[in-house]
Amino acid sequence: MLADLDQSVETIATLPVVVLSALSRELKETEALTKKRKEALNAALERIFGQDITKAYQTKGEDGGVVRVPASNSTTLKVERDREYDWDQPKLLAILKAMSAEDATHYMKAKYEVPAKKFDGAPPDIQARLRTARIVKIGRSRFTFEDVDLSN
């Protein structure tokens, strides 16, 4: 049935809703199974090559990015590891205060934000002022078919 999705968008758009709903369910099931299988494969690769991967990153002197480790005589395993940094805010502030103003403005990037819960709970006058600075970025739409209870 998923092969129906190999057709043009124009053709898919002509399919009955019952077929689109079934396709959506089947995709969701396939996606969950694929995710589970990928996690199992990645865990196995980490178990097999973990020490070599750690050594490769140490040799490179980095925590993340791309490294390659030999997997066999004819295969190399490419490892891509994302990095996300967090900063100890009190320590960072103390360091920046100890710098010259020029160095601090060169190295520092300030970002102010209002957590959604705080915004939602703010009094109307504060919400109105904050709303002028709020930018909403709309993400991708996700679609889910839901059965309607017709017993009423």
Q: Are residues 115 and 52 in the same domain?
A: no
Cβ neighbour number for residue 59 with a 10 Å cutoff:
9
Position 38 in a domain: yes
Q: Are residues 72 and 93 in the same domain?
A: no
Q: Are residues 67 and 114 in the same domain?
A: no
Q: Are residues 90 and 78 in the same domain?
A: no
* Listed residues 66, 82, 98: the one ending a domain: 82
Please state, for a pLDDT cut of 90, what percent of the chain lies above it: 51
With cut-offs at 50, 70 and 90, classify the pLDDT of residue 141.
low
More confident residue, 79 or 136: 79
Q: Are residues 73 and 92 in the same domain?
A: no
Total domains, the chain: 2
Q: Are residues 68 and 109 in the same domain?
A: no
Q: Which long-range contacts (CB under 8 A, 24 or more apart) does 26-34 make?
A: 26/1, 26/2, 27/2, 30/2
Position 145 in a domain: no
Residue 143 pLDDT exceeds 90: no
pTM for the full predicted model: 0.60
DSSP string, 58-90: HHHT-SSEEEEEE-SSS-EEEEEE-------HH
Q: Are residues 2 and 70 in the same domain?
A: yes
Position 118 in a domain: yes
Q: Are residues 63 and 129 in the same domain?
A: no
Question: Can you give the residue range of the structural domain that contains 57?
Answer: 1-82
Residue 110 pLDDT exceeds 70: yes
Position 143 in a domain: no
